[in-house]
């Protein structure tokens, strides 16, 4: 099982702290941390969130977390991606990982 993380590109450029907070609240999912003054948020995992690659392919894993703030950027991490999907969708990450063990 693999883990990936990266910066989020939202379909709607106006999407941010407020919408993320509302999504988690409306789906009864606890936040890991929330700083309204700074508009900084860190979420817990939810299966209600659908995540897509730049090619429009849904990336499914066992868990996902979003962290970030409005005046900076938001990042997502997805854990528990099955090997065959990880191998197909993230071949460069898999190659980097395998090379770490081949070098020693």
Rounded to whole angstroms, how far apart are CA atoms 104 and 96? 13
Strands lying side by side in the sheet with 74-81: 2-7, 74-81, 63-69, 40-43, 31-35
pLDDT score of 96: 86
- Has residue 103 got a pLDDT over 90? no
The structure's pTM equals: 0.81
> Which carries the bigger pLDDT value, residue 14 or residue 17?
17
> Which carries the bigger pLDDT value, residue 16 or residue 97?
16
> Around 50, how many Cα atoms within 13 Å sit in the side-chain half-sphere?
5
- Number of neighbours of residue 81 by Cβ within 10 angstroms: 21
Give the whole-number percent of the chain exceeding pLDDT 90: 49
Specify the residue for token string 């969130």. Answer: 49
Domain boundaries, the chain: 2-102
Tokens for 101? Answer: 């063990």
């Amino acid at each position: 099982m693999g883990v990936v993380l990266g910066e989020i590109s939202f379909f709607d450029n106006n999407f941010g702290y407020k919408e993320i907070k509302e999504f988690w609240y409306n789906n009864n999912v606890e936040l890991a941390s929330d700083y309204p003054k700074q508009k900084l948020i860190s979420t817990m995992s939810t299966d209600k969130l659908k995540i897509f690659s730049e090619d429009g392919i849904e990336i499914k894993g066992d868990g996902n977390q979003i962290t970030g703030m409005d005046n900076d950027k938001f990042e997502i991490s997805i854990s528990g991606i099955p090997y065959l999907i990880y191998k197909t969708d993230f071949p460069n990450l898999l190659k980097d990982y395998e090379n770490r063990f081949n070098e020693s």
